[in-house]
Amino acid sequence: MKSRPSVQFREIPEAQIDSALALAYLVFHEVPDDETIRKQHRDSLRMSLRIGAYDGDELVGLAAALPFELSVPGGELPCPALTFVSVAPTHRRRGVLSGMIAELYARCGEQGAPLSALWASEASIYGRFGFGPGTYGATVEIDSRRPLALRIEPDERPLRLVDPAKAPGVLDAYYDSTRSARAGRSARSEWWWRESWLPEKDEEDEDFSPPRVVALGEPLAGYAIYRTKSQDEGPGLVRLDELEAESPAVAAALWRYLASIDLTGTVRAWGRPLDDPLFLFAADRDQVRVTSEFPALWVRLIDVGAALEARSWAAPADLVLEVTDETVPANAGRHRLTVSPGNPACTPTEERPDLTFAVRDLASCYLGGTRVSDLVAAGVVTEHTPGAADQLDAALRTPRLPHTVDEF
């Protein structure tokens, strides 16, 4: 590590939250003039673990970790969620980030959190620290200048608009139930719903309308959250932020609604799961196009053994996994994973390995979003025992792909 001897890592006191924010605004080249956005940032930092890097008394680095609970196959785990990572331009490439990450991992260990997660500003930064893409998202564009062509009949029950101020109460239990179907989703507090997910103004683009919430069914069978904006040239845009539905027919009804809003001609859905049923029930894939796919949530296994024992498994397995880990040496070595129904165990061993992983690649597979056999085919995981990758894939498999939309 290249950290200068004068740089020290310690918690940032609450009284210095404004200095920490000033550093973040400096490095992200943004100065929100809206006080509600500043307040939301301040509140986020207040509820986070705030790791600071100090050169003497000067704050030169910030790494905040929100106290998330992440859904994993079969349950959920504490998962400090790394955000606001900022290093002063005067102190770049001297190991400040490396020092803050080491401090974060030590704190996670003390708190018994086996995972951490983040959204990366640049994909090249976090692999070296053992993070791997755990969930992926797709951007979808629907040409809605003509009716949405569907291969299935939409649910014909009436749709209703929900006041965004009341939406957390109406949606939260339903949203929470989706977390057991899809790993990679964090629990949402009332604060998170209000300030982060449904703020009046869109932080990225103030031309968008306030959030609109449309719901179907009583009890709730599905909902969509979207914003609209008019465009100088041509019809307006519907930006979909979230759509959840208990059946394909409910999903079809919501998509049809979004694609038929007057004075709009495009639905742009950001961060859809890669196995969205829409892709199969849309009748015209020229009308419904995936325009990008991207790594969404990056996951770090802080404690490999505890993380593997904490998830559920789809099939039996008995394998020795060799893990390399440069930033959390306690993970490095051989782990014997035995999975019999309902009873996973992961113990250190000296036996010959069946598979050798860098910890970042094991993290990519952990939620079920990446196949081990694909990593073997790519040459980044080594299979020593023929069939070991397939055995582990069968055990890791989840009914639906993991998915995350809460960007932080």
Ligand X SMILES: CC(=O)SCCNC(=O)CCNC(=O)[C@H](O)C(C)(C)COP(=O)(O)OP(=O)(O)OC[C@H]1O[C@@H](n2cnc3c(N)ncnc32)[C@H](O)[C@@H]1OP(=O)(O)O
Annotated catalytic residues are: 126, 408
Closest to ligand X by CB, 257 or 408:
408
**Among the listed residues 194, 204, 248, the one whose alpha carbon sits nearest the alpha carbon of residue 225:** 194
Is 339 labeled as ligand-binding? no
**Among the listed residues 257, 388, 218, 270, the one whose alpha carbon sits nearest the alpha carbon of residue 319:** 388
For residue 288, with 0-12 CB atoms within 10 Å meaning exposed, 13-18 middle and 19 or more buried, which class applies?
buried
271 neighbors 408 (Cβ within 8 angstroms): no
Closest to ligand X by CB, 92 or 400:
92
Closest to ligand X by CB, 72 or 82:
82
CB of 265 to ligand X, least distance (A): 34
CB of 96 to ligand X, least distance (A): 4
Q: Which residues contact 235 (CB under 8 A, 6 or more apart)?
A: 145, 263, 264, 265, 266
CB of 348 to ligand X, least distance (A): 28
Other CB atoms within 10 A of residue 239 CB: 21
CB of 92 to ligand X, least distance (A): 4
* Residue keyed to tokens 């991207």: 294
Closest to ligand X by CB, 122 or 156:
122
Is 7 labeled as ligand-binding? no
CA–CA distance, 327 with 105 (Å, rounded to integer):
9
Token reading at 31: 């100065």
96 neighbors 60 (Cβ within 8 angstroms): yes
Binding site for ligand X (CB under 6 A): 27-28, 82-87, 92-98, 118, 120-122, 124-125, 128
Other CB atoms within 10 A of residue 120 CB: 18
E strand or H helix that includes residue 138: strand 136-143
CA distances from 109 to 39, 53, 97, 103, 115 (A): 30, 20, 18, 10, 9
9 neighbors 52 (Cβ within 8 angstroms): yes
Closest to ligand X by CB, 98 or 373:
98
Is 98 labeled as ligand-binding? yes
Closest to ligand X by CB, 101 or 214:
101
Is 93 labeled as ligand-binding? yes
Is 85 labeled as ligand-binding? yes
**Among the listed residues 285, 261, 154, 293, the one whose alpha carbon sits nearest the alpha carbon of residue 217:** 154
CB of 130 to ligand X, least distance (A): 13
Closest to ligand X by CB, 21 or 395:
21
Is 122 labeled as ligand-binding? yes
Residue 363, beta-bridge partner list: none
Q: Which residues contact 211 (CB under 8 A, 6 or more apart)?
A: 164, 167, 198, 199, 200, 225, 226, 227, 241
Is 213 labeled as ligand-binding? no
CB of 207 to ligand X, least distance (A): 25
Q: What angle do CA 305, 308, 309 make, to 5 degrees?
A: 85
CB of 128 to ligand X, least distance (A): 6
Is 121 labeled as ligand-binding? yes
Is 95 labeled as ligand-binding? yes
306 neighbors 327 (Cβ within 8 angstroms): no
Residues placed in the known binding site: 85-87, 93-98, 121-122
User: Which residue positions form the known binding site for acetyl-CoA?
Assistant: 85-87, 93-98, 121-122
